[in-house]
Amino acid sequence: MEQTGNEQAKAKLGELIAKVLEDGVIDAGERESLQTFFKDALLSVSDVKSVYLSCVGALQTNVLADGIVTDEEVRQCKLVVEQLRIPLRMLPAEMVEIVSGTKG
């Protein structure tokens, strides 16, 4: 089945987020690229939230896969949440535990 324009834009945003977070930091140029994408793609706030939470969910699944949350994984999760400016209230409970250091 072919993706709609909205689904394509959401998929592209997910790819862009993964790319800009490769080094764990969104620099000014990358932030500008994201802002330009947001303007051009015309995604709703709800669409952007769903993409962000999908990225966070994938990260959470990866972090919890072996049942051990390392200090490096906590750092990585904190960076993603901080860099994407995701409020803690939007995160799944387990991710809040990870970024607060209470899940281990």
CA distances from 86 to 4, 20, 48, 78 (A): 26, 16, 11, 10
* CA 84 – CA 91 distance, rounded (Å): 12
Tens digit of each residue's pLDDT, the chain (104 residues): 567 788 899 999 999 998 888 887 888 999 898 888 888 888 888 999 999 999 999 999 999 999 999 999 999 999 999 988 899 999 999 999 999 988 76
Q: What is the pLDDT of residue 95?
A: 94
pTM given for the model: 0.81
